Every structure is written in C-alpha cells, then in structure tokens.
Amino acid sequence: MAINYNGDICVVLDSQHRTPGNLRAFVQASIRSIRTGKSSDVRFSSTEKIEVVPMMTRKMEYSYKDLEDYVFSDPETYETVTLPPELVGDVKNYLVENAQVTMTFVEDKAVSLELPSSVVLTVTDAPEGIRGDSANNVQKSVTMETGIVVQAPLFIKTGEKLKIDTRTGKYMERA
C-alpha cells in the first residue's frame, strides 16, 4: 500500500504489528519515499491516523534497455515508462524483449515491478555433461540469455528454452 507520511508519498515495503509486554501496541513499518527513493523504518502508534494513497496496477511489456534505464510500454496505449536500475533491481535477470510484467503506479509514477511466477529463457552457454557422471539428480551451471546462471540437468544443451521460477531463480522444466 502507499501512504502519505510527513507530506511525502511512500510505499510500504513491510509491516509488523507488535505488542511488547507492558507497553502499548504499535506498527513497525519499512517505507520507501517515491520522491527520493530512500527507505526508512518508522513506528506508528495504534491511535495514529494514516492517509492511504490509491495505487493502480497495469500490465506492461519490457521493450529495451536505454543505457542504464529500462523502457517498458503499455500494450494497449503504447505509452512508454522508463525505470532506473534501482527500481528494477533483480527483476533484470528475467527481462527479455516483450516480457510481460505488472507495474504498480502511485499518482502516475511507477513504484514497483512484479514478474509472473515463471519465465521462459534461452540457454546461451551450456557446458557438456561429463560422461559417466550420472548419479541421482546431477546438475550443471548453464548461462541464460539475460546473463543469469541457473543449475539445470546434464541433458540441457545450448539453444534450448527453459522455464525458470522467478521467485527462486531455479530451473523448472524445458519449454
């Protein structure tokens, strides 16, 4: 969710409700400012009023990388959104051209990026499996088109398409 905190719009990254022994309950939250991009930990008492700012999500497609920034476009309106590498984070390991993502906006500014649970990537480098190395579930390191290295079974070859779990970064199956 997004909140108005000290006159600045912030996205809540994490929150916990705490009730210490003999003290009043409070909510401990990690928030990130949209304007500055800085994260901080804050405490809200149980009586404090918080103004919630509406968030909107849209399906977007990854278009290309422009120097350091990443450019996404809306498949319906063809409107483009450029995001800095700090906001993209580890999502870049799974971005290929025309990849579908869900982007969250607060006051027409992109604040977060979410991938589907799995993506299909092409293997660019897969070393040959060692002959006779066939013990149970032996795996090798293969390099995908985005540069990420994934552990995959010995039978995977260069040029094959693999389904990768974006939450864990692990090989799921051939695509």
**Per-residue pLDDT tens over the stretch 152-164:** 888 888 888 888 8
* CATH class, range 2-53: mainly beta
Is residue 151 very low, low, confident or very high in pLDDT (cuts 50, 70, 90)?
A: confident
Cβ contact 71:84 at 8 Å? no
Residue 34 pLDDT > 80, yes or no?
A: no
134 or 59: whose pLDDT is higher? 59
Is residue 135 very low, low, confident or very high in pLDDT (cuts 50, 70, 90)?
A: low
3-state secondary structure of 111: strand
Interval 90-109 mean pLDDT:
82
Do the domains at 2-53 and 55-114 have one common CATH topology? no
Residue 136 pLDDT > 80, yes or no?
A: no
Residue 76 pLDDT > 60, yes or no?
A: yes
Helices (H), the chain: 85-88
End-to-end CA distance of the chain: 35
DSSP assignment letter at 79: -
71 or 35: whose pLDDT is higher? 71
At position 92, the amino acid (one-letter code) is K
Q: Does domain 118-174 have CATH number 2.40.50.140?
A: yes
Residues 6+ apart with CB under 8 A from 123: 142, 143, 144, 145, 152, 156, 157, 158, 159, 160, 161, 162
For domain 55-114, give the CATH number.
Answer: 2.40.50.140
Enumerate the domain spans of the chain. Answer: 2-53, 55-114, 118-174
